[in-house]
Amino acid sequence: MRTLYYECFAGISGDMNLGAMLDLGVNPQELINELKKLDIGPYEIRIRIEQRKGITGTRVEVLVPEESRTEERRFRDIVSIIEQSSLADKVKDLSLKIFLKLAEAEAKVHGHTVDEVHFHEVGAVDSIVDIAGAAVCLDFLGVENVIASPVQLGGGFAKCRHGLLPVPAPATAEILRGIPVKTGAVPFETTTPTGAAILAATATEFTDRLEFTPEKIGYGVGGRDTDIPNVLRVFLFETAGAAIPDGVEMREALLIECNIDDMVPELYDTVMDELFEKGARDVFLTPIIMKKSRPAVKISIICEDADRQGIEEALWLRTTTFGLRATRISKAMLKRDFTTVKTKYGEVRMKTAWYRGRKIKSKPEYEDCKRLAREKGVSIRDILESLEGDG
């Protein structure tokens, strides 16, 4: 398994990450060509070799005209820019996953919903380039797994749109919840919200204790010359993939979600029926609390790529939502087989799951039980009890 390890002893930012990726061997012109697929206005990428404390690495700067830097974008604007581009689907998905981390953090900090979030510094052209560029580079390198060290945050105060805020910035702190961090290496910010979001969206493990054989090492150079080397170090290496137990099948899928607070509850039943007709593998509703303590419902759908368009269309047309979010997920499924059991009411299909060569559970198909109960004029419990008696 091709693995990338982020050593964040001096933190991480979007431009440091791009520099490290180029230093690993990503072709600069290919990166630039891919980023041209985004309709985000004028900018220039400057790449050069610099040193920090004797360590040579790659410095990347995204130069944007002043009028473009002040442009504000909502989360849905950024989603539209990425989805309407001709980037590869996996690059789009990862870019949106990283931006969703940012949007959720900003929403939590400022008391908004994700769809209401206005991006300022994060929504600027340079940050879109940093995030989409990260996804392009990981795809170019063929990275299958990402691991990171605990993240150095720095200290002191950082200047932002709202004034001086303590390090880490609130959005950075929110993004890194549940992730090990360190502070105080230098008296200023070393990890930006963009850098934090890249790690939070990609890394599967955070540790500074690893045994591996490095194949390539890259250094992304930061903009300051500090007491510690202001660089992001990355290692690329091969690891043995995690063994999948006999009886377990791994599949990739999509998780599509939206939050709704203004729909008649009785309508959810027909919405769920249509989603299943469109190919959804699972649909579930979760009660949530939105801003101003408004009760709402989160609709979650697990589906395959091929069914995405129909499912999204059903959500647009059959619900009141104005926005959707999609995340690529990995499903672990027990291998199963089907048999037919005869009861006094009729035949019922039984689903049996196997693990490490052993049968571990069985259950009747609910739709068969419901159909028989309706046909025979009995309850579903009667059907289930007849199965127990025959077993």
pLDDT value, residue 135:
97
Q: Which of 134, 157, 178 is nearest to 6 (CA)?
A: 134
pLDDT value, residue 241:
59
3-state SS class at 200 = helix
Q: How many CA atoms does the CB half-sphere of 380 hold within 13 Å?
A: 8
pLDDT value, residue 328:
82
Q: Output the tens digit of pLDDT for each of the chain's 391 residues.
A: 899 999 999 999 999 999 999 999 999 999 999 999 999 988 999 999 999 999 999 999 998 887 766 667 888 889 999 999 999 999 999 999 999 999 899 888 888 888 777 776 555 788 899 999 999 999 999 999 999 999 999 999 877 766 788 999 899 999 998 899 999 999 999 999 999 999 999 998 898 888 899 999 999 999 998 889 999 999 999 886 555 677 788 777 899 999 999 999 999 999 999 999 999 999 999 999 998 889 999 999 999 888 999 999 999 999 999 999 988 888 888 888 889 999 999 999 999 998 877 889 999 999 999 999 999 999 999 999 998 765 4
pLDDT value, residue 358:
81
Rounded to whole angstroms, the Cα distance separating 271 from 161 reads 42
Rounded to whole angstroms, the Cα distance separating 334 from 353 reads 6
Rounded to whole angstroms, the Cα distance separating 160 from 276 reads 46
Q: Angle at the Cα of 151 (from 219 to 196), degrees rounded to 5?
A: 85
Q: Please say whether the beta carbons of 212 and 3 come within 8 A.
A: yes
Placement of tokens 């410095």 in the chain: 59
Residue spans of alpha helices (H) in 111-233: 125-141, 170-175, 193-202
The first and second tokens of residue 331, run together, are 């499903």
